[in-house]
Amino acid sequence: MNREYQRKIVWTVPEKQNLINSILSEYPIPLVLLSKKQRAGKAEYEIIDGLQRLHSIFEFIENSYPLADGRYFNTEHMPRAKQAAKDGNFVPADKEKPFLSLEACATIADYNLPVTTIERATDASVIQIFERINSYGRRLSEQEQRQAGLRSAFSRLVRQISCEVRGDTSDEIVPLKDMPLISIDMPGQSAAGISAEASFWCKQGILRSTNLRDSLDEQVIADILASILNKKPVQRSKASLDKIYDPGTPDFTKMESAVAAYGEDDIKRDVLGVFDTIKSICDRIPKALETRFFRARTRIQSRRYSPLSFWRSMSCRSSKAESWLTPRSLPTLFPN
């Protein structure tokens, strides 16, 4: 799974159950599209389309969730799954649980999953294909569409900083089996590695768990980062961010030049350093952000990019981007 264009696991358990019901009913499902790649002399397959479907099928076989009626896949009826459980790759459901019949398990095991493999595809063509076929299941959010496949210093910084703030420090290329470890644990989903409610964004009441699923945290980081590099707040609009992500606009060129002037490693270090200090302060002062910066008792949806009232005021405290905010200056904002 290439994180340059693929998103996190976002399907809920009911959505996964619907897919399994379709397979049990032997209904056709959309094809899975793969790209064959050579890495270190070894053939690997990147998922272009079908990540949510493949993950849902594997999770069901590994007893991560049951059907709506409570029945689990019986790994005793699939030798490979039985062996994988013995090898400790997953924990099967308790034997007291209800399981699918042999016939039902065989229907899943023998289902002809439609798969198309593209060989010798360039990175650019893979990204174009991904963008064109993004029509099944849950559509990409606006920010996911901006980030998908774009190779720029700015988009790379947004992805890397957002991942670290979320608690996701995985590589750019992630095996399908490890996807739960970097996905958001949402209400109604099977267990995932990153707890939305325990994240900085949700814990401080800045974003909701559904916002994280739709990568709104990355959109916030993009807006913050753009404001810092621009040395003044960028316009709060979809069109403004779209231009920053569009290689054919002056805004894109200006932002790339600003990143080069500041230094990718330097700005990443500075932003994450400030986040670490903010987190430390928030751990000591309950509701620090809410009481100091979010006094209005309005709903989250009505506050577009809610944390920016906080970040913008600090990112433009002087005309020099380098002095926008440092960990040393943070305690003055929280005198108590």
Across the chain, mean pLDDT equals 76
CA nearest neighbour of 9 among 152, 199, 196: 196
Is 278 in contact with 329 (CB distance < 8 Å)?
A: no
Q: Where are the domains of the chain?
A: 13-139, 161-333
**What's the pLDDT tens digit per position in 165-213?**
887 766 566 666 666 665 666 555 555 566 777 788 887 777 887 787 7
Number of helices (H) and strands (E), helices first, in the chain?
Answer: 16, 5
Looking at residue 75, its pLDDT comes to 93
Is 109 in contact with 24 (CB distance < 8 Å)?
A: no
Rounded-to-integer distance, Cα 38 and Cα 80, Å: 26
**What's the pLDDT tens digit per position in 208-227?**
877 877 788 888 899 888 88
Q: Is the pLDDT of residue 297 over 50?
A: no
pTM above 0.85, yes or no: no
Q: Is the pLDDT of residue 310 over 50?
A: no
Looking at residue 30, its pLDDT comes to 84
Q: Is the pLDDT of residue 288 over 60?
A: no
Rounded-to-integer distance, Cα 147 and Cα 214, Å: 12
Pairing of strands 42-49, 184-185: unpaired
On the CB side of 252, CA atoms within 13 Å amount to 13
Q: Is the pLDDT of residue 90 over 70?
A: yes
Percent of the chain with pLDDT over 70: 68
**What's the pLDDT tens digit per position in 99-110?**
999 999 999 999
H helices of 135-263, in order, are 142-147, 153-166, 179-182, 200-203, 209-213, 216-230, 238-244, 250-262
**What's the pLDDT tens digit per position in 131-162?**
666 544 456 677 777 777 677 889 889 988 98
Looking at residue 131, its pLDDT comes to 62
Looking at residue 138, its pLDDT comes to 52
| Joined tokens for residue 145 | 């569409």
Put residue 88 in one of left, alpha, beta given phi > 0 → left and psi -120 to 50 → alpha: left
Looking at residue 176, its pLDDT comes to 63
Is 95 in contact with 68 (CB distance < 8 Å)?
A: no
CA nearest neighbour of 294 among 233, 179, 207: 207
> What mean pLDDT is predicted for residues 298-320?
42
At residue 256, the 3 state secondary structure works out as helix
> What mean pLDDT is predicted for residues 257-273?
90
